[in-house]
Every structure is written in C-alpha cells, then in structure tokens.
Amino acid sequence: MSFGRMVFVLLLCCGGGAAILADVRVASPFGDNMVLQRARPVPVWGTAAAGEAVTVTFGAQVVHTAADARGQWQLRLAPLTASSVPATLVVAGTNTLNFTNVLVGEVWVCSGQSNMEWALGSTEHAASAIAAADNAQIRLCTVAHAVALTPQTTCACAWVVCSPKSAPSFSAVGYYFARQLQATLHVPVGVINASWGGTRAEPWTSLPGLKTLPSFRQQATQFEHAVHSDAAQLTREHDAAVRDYADRRAAWYRQLDARDPGLQRHWMALRTDTSSWRALALPCPKAQNPLGYFVGSLWCRKDVTIPASWVGRPLTLQLGIIDETDDTYVNGVHVGRTWFETPEFWKVARRYPVPATAVTSTTVSVTVRVLNLYYDVGLYGPAESMTLAPQDAAAEPAVSLAGNWRYTDGLAIGHGEIPLLTPSTPPVNGSNTPTTLFNGMINPLIPFAMRGVIWYQGESNAASDAYGEYHELFSGLITSWRTAWGEGDFPFAFVQLANFMAPQQVSVEKGSWAELRQAQAETLALPNTTMAVTIDIGDANSIHPLRKQEVGARLASGVLAQTYYVATPLPSGPCFTALRAAGTRLRVRFRFADGLRCTGDAVTGFAVAGADKVFHAATARIDGDTVLVWSDQVAHPVAVRYGWANNPPCNLCNRAGLPAAPFRSDQWADFSVAP
C-alpha cells in the first residue's frame, strides 16, 4: 500500500465523530462480566439521540442525565462498596441495556509492549498456572490493537471471567498481578490489557503530553502536520524523507566499514591467520545461542576440501538463515550480500553464486561477515542448508559447511550509535507512530474508573538515547495519562528491564540497557510510582523471559505496600540511597536492605572509579545493611556503579530474595572502562 493511500485509510478509519444514533449506547469498556472500581466515583458514558433522557441503575443507585446536542452523555455513580455478588448495571433510554455478572472491586490497566502482551500460555509453568486459573473473582479484558491518528472514543474490547479457558491467551504479567491482588485484598480484581509488542513509548503518549517534552516537540509537530495534510502532499514529503534517510544511512554504514578491523585488515583474505579466533559449531541453535546478543560485526570462517574435479568450476554456496545481514567471501572474493533493504532479511536463506575464478584449489575458504544491530545474532542454518556444490552438476554430492567454524569479533557498536532504520518524517509509521496507540487503545478507556496502571516497556527504546530521551519520555507518558484521566496522580507501577544479551564481559558497559534502567529508576521521582526490579530473572538468549510469575508478583508487592498500605515483609529489593567515603573504600546505603545478602560466595556486580572516571571491577563486602566497595586499582574512589550492563553478574538481594536495583552514584555522561 502506498504511503498516501495508507494515510487516507487511517484518516478514513479515524474520521470524524460517530454517527448520531437513536439507541442508547455505552462506551467500549462497559460490558457483561466487568469489574467496577470501588471507593471512588464511577463515570458511565455513551451516546444517544440529542436531548434523550438516560437513566443508569446499579444496586440502590438511580442516576439521571440527558444527551447533549452532539448526542454525548455522561454521569457518575457515587462511590461503590466492594462486592463479590454479581449484579446488573442497567442503562435505559429509548432502549434498555442490561450488563450482567458485574462485580465491584479493584480495576487496573496493563500496558506496554510484548513482555506485557506475552500470554500466560507461553510462560514458565504455564500448565499448572492455567489449571489453577479458575477464579470468578478475577475478570480479564483485552483491548484489540488499534492505530488512530486522532483520539478515538471507541475500541474493541470485552470482559471475560478468569478461567482455564480464558486465562491462557491473556497477559501473563496482568494475570499474575491480579491473582496476587485478589488473594491479598479479598475483593474482585479486573485487569484491562492494552498492549502491543515491539512498540516504543512515543505512540503510547498523548499528543498534548508529547508537546510538553522538549526532545519530542518536533515529532509532535510532524504528527499534527501529517494529520492535517492531504495525501499527495504527505507522499511527496515522505518520498523526500526516504531519499534523505537513505543517504544518511548509507553514510553511516560507510563509517562502520571504515571502523571495522576485519575490513581494514582484510580478514577475508586467504592468508589470514585465524588461530586466535574462537571455535564455534554452526549452525547456532536458537535456544542457548553461544553468540547471544552482539551488536556489531562478527567474522566467521571455515575451510573445506572440495573434489579436485570442482577446481575452476562455478559453485553454489548456501548458508541458510543468517540474522541479521551478511557479506560473504569465498577465497577472498566477495560472492554475495543480503542487506537491510531485503524484506525480512533476518529470515532469508542465503544462496550465492561462486565464480569459477575464485575456485583455485581443493581448499576453499568461506568467510562471512555478519552485521547485527538488534537482538540475537547467528547463522541458524539449518545444517542441511549449509552447503557448497557445483552449479552445473546437481547430481554431485554437496560438501557440508555445518560443523566447526572459527569466529572473532569485528566492530562493536554502542546502542546510542544506531540511527532509526525508518524515516522519521512524516511520522506515519503504523504502531510506532507517535500518539497513535494512545489515540486508538487508551483514549477510548478514559475516564473508566480504575485504581492505577502497570507498565512493562522499554526494550524498543533502548537502541536510541536510552537515558536522556527515555527519562524525559517515560515521565511525560505517565503525566499525560494522569492528565487525560483527570483523577490526579493515580498509581503507576512499572517493570525495570530484565537482564538480557551476552553476559557482562567488563565491569561496566557503555550504551547498554543499564542506561534505560537508570532512566526508569529516576522516574520514581514522580509521585505514586513503584518499580519492579527483574535484573535476576531475564534470559540472555531471549528478549522475552518466561518467568512472568515473579514479574507480576513483584509489581503486586510494590502496589500492595504503596497503594493499599498492606504490610509486606519487603516491597522491593535494595534501592541505592546514599554513598559515603570510608577511607579508600566507599560505603553504599540502601532502602529495603533488611537481611542484606548475596546469592553466591561473594558479592558481585560492583565497579568503582576515581576522579579520572575510569571504572574498575570492585571488591564488595556486606556490612550490616550497607555494602563496602573498593578496588586496589583506585586509590581514591568517588563513584560506584552496580549491575551496570546489559546482563550483569550481580547477586545482591535482601532477606526476601528480591534483587538490588542496578544504579550509579555519578552523573557522568562520559567515562572509561579499565581493560
């Protein structure tokens, strides 16, 4: 579909106001099996004929109103008392609507990207959790994916009773959160899941909210321009932006090539010494991938022996699937490339012709430069698709390339270096268009009465300016939701990113997920926010860790303590509060440090730096509810970082077994890491 046509379709779908209907209608969040929020006024709203009288009855309450000239009506029920007894909400005008099996308790909205969307049926211990999900006091509601250029008043959603039939497809984090709240509070709990995998925070932020953020005002302005421009104009601007971006991206790739030691030293050449390269069995498995997550270039090489009759003949090289892109050489000759412009390049099986001039002896050297910018990296095969064979004799047995290879790191790329891989202007780009998911999936829920929000997102923002931009953006998102609901600073609980990618190799890392975790932690400065730390339950090989039960439980633990004032042993793991010099050591203090301990023989994950801003791996010792840290390489330490990596080996926790949150005591934008 052309860009102009896509904009036209979006505008058509998101077009002007709803048609005036004679029948009384209610807003999308209302339905059979729902939970109404207790202990606060409950808005009920919808549409009817202009001037039509509307009456809402629930229990002993009977409230009247009338539709305005636009056919809109809204009223509020007085605060309700929690009730596990099913009741009926009646909305009457020229017609009557009866919503049955309605409970009163606690309502929470769940939102974010794929780790919030991740279904219960796809998690650890799913079978036992599903079997135990027969709980009519928990109600589940999922909002259908919807992109909208303007704020919508309707969405597709429906409430269901929690059961072994309905729970498997629902958000695992949302379900586990609701389960713990219901078991602790002994009131009905309703959870509304409005999430979408792979989405950034910008599309979940309202347009007025985005306008308040200095780093995102240009996006907001571009978005407004797109909404109010005709399709032909947008198509012209889009085409110009694509050309401009292609030029900038090509220049960036040229810079990468200039920095790649493999290209500069011609590692594809026949005489390259690979004795210091590491051994690797290929193809890589998807699970327990030995290459894990490496952002940059990897150089892989294998020498094979071919029949003498093949020398001087053209060959066909097959390598199977490579994630993400590759340049491939045979005997130093470039034979093929699969690059970012190839549709779904990370799924494409590589098949390259080898010219006869490259086949000069019975020893053939295959060298593959893999360039990876996101997530897992690897040559995934399968093994039977990794072969070398003559082009002109299909009957001759192929030589297998599966088995032992040698590989080494080429160029490592910091997350902050990677430009966006799609043009940013005009900003109409599906589910990652700024404000569009707020418009299509959140605005239709407002002002449905609820207690608060749980949020799991950030992975998709980690590749850009993870610290500065996300701190501003995430705080702005929360504020924009609170402003739109108009219910003050309602509770907002969120998940800090889990450990992921290859295990930490140095004491601290630059441009890593640690920066986004720091941005998340600093968002706790907003009132009525809590954070669930998950640095211990991630998966090095998957961005979707399966231990969602702990995530839901940790969110619930923080909410129970802060929102419901339930006495919990410890609502969080240790959180950094202060740093004090102690001679050549630093003493680190924490909140929630009761029973401070480590899960191994010694505390790991700390690094210290002096005034030179060079971090060294530190020795750490627990001293009561504090930790003493030092390094023989730093005579006068002034700063400490903990768990400051994509996947750090940190093991500090409290007596509840909850992990300490990664942190830094400094505010340095630049620093060095000791070799």
Query: According to the model, what pLDDT value does residue 595 have?
Result: 96
Query: According to the model, what pLDDT value does residue 466 have?
Result: 63
Q: Which amino acid is at 306?
A: I
Q: Would you say 618 and 669 are in contact if contact means Cβ atoms under 8 Å apart?
A: no
Predicted confidence (pLDDT) at residue 428 exceeds the cutoff of 60: no
Instruction: Give the model confidence (pLDDT) of 643-653 as tens digits.
Output: 999 999 999 99
Who has greater pLDDT, 423 or 556?
Answer: 556
Query: According to the model, what pLDDT value does residue 389 have?
Result: 94
Instruction: Give the model confidence (pLDDT) of 431-448 as tens digits.
Output: 888 999 999 999 999 999
The SS3 of residue 439 is helix
Question: Closest Cα to residue 271, out of 359, 367, 379?
Answer: 367
CA atoms within 13 A on the CB side of 23: 6
Residues 6+ positions from 285 with CB-CB distance below 8 Å: none
Supply 382's token pair: 């399968």
Q: H or E segment at 37? A: strand 35-37
Supply 532's token pair: 């669930």
Mean pLDDT of 459-480: 87
Instruction: Give the model confidence (pLDDT) of 339-360 as tens digits.
Output: 988 988 988 999 999 999 999 9
8-state DSSP, 414: -
The pTM of the whole model exceeds 0.85 = no
List the alpha helices (DSSP H) in 421-532. Answer: 436-437, 468-485, 513-522
Query: According to the model, what pLDDT value does residue 488 have?
Result: 96
Query: According to the model, what pLDDT value does residue 20 have?
Result: 43
Q: How far apart are CA 75 and CA 46, in angstroms?
A: 9
Mean pLDDT of 57-69: 97
Per CATH, the number for 25-219+426-495 is 3.40.50
Query: According to the model, what pLDDT value does residue 429 have?
Result: 55
Query: According to the model, what pLDDT value does residue 416 have?
Result: 62
Query: According to the model, what pLDDT value does residue 420 have?
Result: 58
CB burial string 31-68: b at 16+ within 10 A, e below? bbbbbbbbebebbbbbbbbeebebbbbbeeeeeebebe
Supply 669's token pair: 């934008």
Residues 6+ positions from 594 with CB-CB distance below 8 Å: 570, 625, 654, 655
Predicted confidence (pLDDT) at residue 287 exceeds the cutoff of 80: no
Q: Would you say 245 and 423 are in contact if contact means Cβ atoms under 8 Å apart?
A: yes
Domain boundaries along the sequence of the chain: 25-219+426-495, 261-417, 575-673
Other CB atoms within a 10 A radius of the CB of residue 91 amount to 23
Instruction: Give the model confidence (pLDDT) of 121-148 as tens digits.
Output: 999 999 999 999 999 999 999 999 999 9
Instruction: Give the model confidence (pLDDT) of 581-595 as tens digits.
Output: 988 999 999 999 999
Instruction: Give the model confidence (pLDDT) of 174-213 as tens digits.
Output: 999 999 999 999 999 999 999 999 999 999 999 999 999 9
Query: According to the model, what pLDDT value does residue 272 have?
Result: 94
Instruction: Give the model confidence (pLDDT) of 11-49 as tens digits.
Output: 334 443 334 446 999 999 999 999 999 999 999 999 999
Question: Closest Cα to residue 101, out of 190, 175, 41?
Answer: 190
Q: What percent of the chain stands above pLDDT 90? A: 77
Q: How far apart are CA 333 and CA 340, in angstroms?
A: 21
Query: For the domain with range 261-417, which CATH number is right: 2.60.120.260, 1.10.150.120, 3.30.830.10, 3.30.9.10?
Result: 2.60.120.260
Q: How far apart are CA 224 and CA 238, in angstroms?
A: 15
Torsion sign across C-alpha atoms 293, 668, 577, 174: negative
Asked if the peptide bond before residue 662 counts as cis, ω within 30 degrees of 0, the response is no
The SS3 of residue 238 is helix
Query: According to the model, what pLDDT value does residue 16 have?
Result: 38
Q: How far apart are CA 529 and CA 478, in angstroms?
A: 9
Q: In this predicted structure, which of 155-159, 178-182, 320-324, 411-415 has the lowest mean pLDDT? A: 411-415
Average pLDDT, the chain: 91
Instruction: Give the model confidence (pLDDT) of 358-403 as tens digits.
Output: 999 999 999 999 999 877 789 999 999 999 999 987 678 999 999 9
Q: How far apart are CA 341 and CA 217, in angstroms?
A: 30
Q: What percent of the chain stands above pLDDT 70? A: 94
Residue 430 pLDDT class (50, 70, 90 cuts)? confident
The SS3 of residue 321 is strand
Q: H or E segment at 64? A: strand 61-66
Query: According to the model, what pLDDT value does residue 243 have?
Result: 83
Q: Would you say 498 and 537 are in contact if contact means Cβ atoms under 8 Å apart?
A: yes
Who has greater pLDDT, 341 or 103?
Answer: 103
Instruction: Give the model confidence (pLDDT) of 294-313 as tens digits.
Output: 889 999 999 999 999 999 99
Query: According to the model, what pLDDT value does residue 161 have?
Result: 98
Q: Would you say 645 and 504 are in contact if contact means Cβ atoms under 8 Å apart?
A: yes
Question: Closest Cα to residue 118, out of 169, 82, 77, 71?
Answer: 169
Predicted confidence (pLDDT) at residue 241 exceeds the cutoff of 80: no
Q: How far apart are CA 552 and CA 325, in angstroms?
A: 36
Asked if the peptide bond before residue 124 counts as cis, ω within 30 degrees of 0, the response is no
Q: How far apart are CA 656 and CA 592, in angstroms?
A: 10
The SS3 of residue 555 is helix
Q: Are strands 96-112 and 452-456 parallel, antiparallel or unpaired?
A: parallel
Q: In this predicted structure, which of 2-11, 88-97, 160-169, 411-420 has the lowest mean pLDDT? A: 2-11
Q: How far apart are CA 437 and CA 420, in angstroms?
A: 20
Q: Would you say 219 and 206 are in contact if contact means Cβ atoms under 8 Å apart?
A: no
Supply 98's token pair: 């009866």
Q: How far apart are CA 612 and CA 552, in angstroms?
A: 41
Query: According to the model, what pLDDT value does residue 469 have?
Result: 87
